[in-house]
Amino acid sequence: EPFLHYYRDRDAKEIDLLIEGAGKLSPIEIKKTTNPDKRLTQVFSVIDKSPLELGTGAVLCMAEKFSAFDRDNLIVPIWLI
């Protein structure tokens, strides 16, 4: 079973959900928007200093269909979970 974490640092950078499993950290942002902006994934870089590998990131939102910003960051509609 993966471990679930919330991340916030002293600079107020936060990641809503970090899923730790199989030696990777997968960051998830949760937003109410139907059209998420790729800039939401910029905060994922704060975990680059982690000894664990950065896994696939995602923005969980109200989008109508599953898609991706790029090969490392997905757009996941809430109805899929």
Q: How far is CA 4 from CA 1, 34, 46, 65, in A?
A: 9, 25, 17, 25
Mean pLDDT of 10-37: 95
pLDDT at 40: 96
Task: Indicate the pLDDT class of residue 57, thresholds 50, 70 and 90.
Answer: very high
Question: Against a cut of 0.85, is the pTM above it?
Answer: yes
- Give the number of other CB atoms < 10 A from CB of residue 19: 18
Which residues partner with 68 through β-bridges? 74
| Average confidence (pLDDT) over 18-35 | 96
**Stretch 49-71: mean pLDDT:** 95
